[in-house]
Amino acid sequence: MQPKKNPKADLSQNSSLYFVAGLAFILLVSWQAIEWKTYEKSMYGYEALNVEDDDDEDVPITEQIKTPPPPPPPPPAPEVIEVVEDEEEVEETVIESTETDEDEIIDIVEVEEVEEDIDVPFAVIEDVPIFPGCERVKKSERRTCFQEKMNRHIRKNFRYPEIAQEMGIQGRVYVQFVIAKDGSITGVRMRGPDKNLEKEAARIIGKLPRMTPGKQRGRPVRVPFSIPITFRLN
């Protein structure tokens, strides 16, 4: 028995091709529908604009009035010179010469030199003060002799204060004094750890003998001198 249908009339042979073509057409239509844009019409169209020439203003042509310059000032009147006859006699003044003649006596003014109280330190003075007992020593050795005599005087008159011994106070007292122009001892000052020690140092310096004053350029001057006195307990 033969089939009734014609093999050429089989529609399922190209069904996949038709399906793909239809799907592509539907996708194209869908994409066009999504991308479609519409715009609202504006109330003012370009055809409604009417540009007129009302903004152009006519600038009036003005003419600048030139004012004439002011007239020049009148020339000054010439001065009238009056000629006065010289009737009065003028006395001439004679200028006397300030030069002195040989016969005139010139008074000589003597200027007295005022001696100033200058303090010259012991280390730089030309002629150091002479401690009693150093008169026959050479000038170059008088400085050493002065210091030796000073140390000997301190050791001879040294006495440790009893109050300081009981309290166990010891230390160094710095003493400074001035050898005046007449060789006396003035301006004694002390600085130490205790008042009792300072008082003892002042007593020792107060027993110094009168000295020969120091000299600078041949004139007596004030000479400051400082020395430490050590108080130490055995």
Q: pLDDT of the chain along its 234 residues, tens only?
A: 555 556 665 656 677 888 888 888 998 888 888 888 766 655 544 444 455 555 556 656 666 666 777 777 777 766 666 655 655 565 666 566 566 555 554 455 555 555 567 889 999 999 999 999 999 999 889 999 999 999 999 999 999 999 999 999 999 999 999 999 999 999 999 999 999 999 999 999 999 999 999 999 999 999 999 999 999 987
Q: CB within 8 A of 187, min separation 6: which ones?
A: 176, 177, 178, 224
Q: Which of 146, 125, 148, 149 is nearest to 218 (CA)?
A: 125
CA distance 146 to 13: 149
User: Does any domain span residue 177?
Assistant: yes
User: Does any domain span residue 56?
Assistant: no
Domain count for the chain, please give it. Answer: 1
CA distance 169 to 200: 13
Q: Beta-strand (E) ranges in the chain?
A: 171-179, 185-191, 215-216, 219-220, 223-231
User: Does any domain span residue 166?
Assistant: yes
pLDDT value of position 228: 94
User: Does any domain span residue 34?
Assistant: no
CA distance 59 to 108: 102
Is the CB of residue 201 less than 8 Å from the CB of residue 208? no
Which CATH number does the domain housing residue 163 bear? 3.30.1150.10
The encoded tokens of residue 3 equal: 């089939």
**Helix, strand counts (H, E) of the chain:** 4, 5
How many other C-beta atoms lie within 10 A of the C-beta of residue 52? 6
User: Does any domain span residue 213?
Assistant: yes
Range of the domain at 177: 139-231
Q: What is the pTM of this model?
A: 0.50
DSSP state of 37: -
User: Does any domain span residue 58?
Assistant: no
User: Does any domain span residue 28?
Assistant: no
Q: Which of 127, 126, 125, 132 is nearest to 146 (CA)?
A: 132
The encoded tokens of residue 111 equal: 């200027």
In degrees, to the nearest 5, what angle opens at C-alpha 139 toward C-alphas 133 and 141?
70
User: Does any domain span residue 188?
Assistant: yes
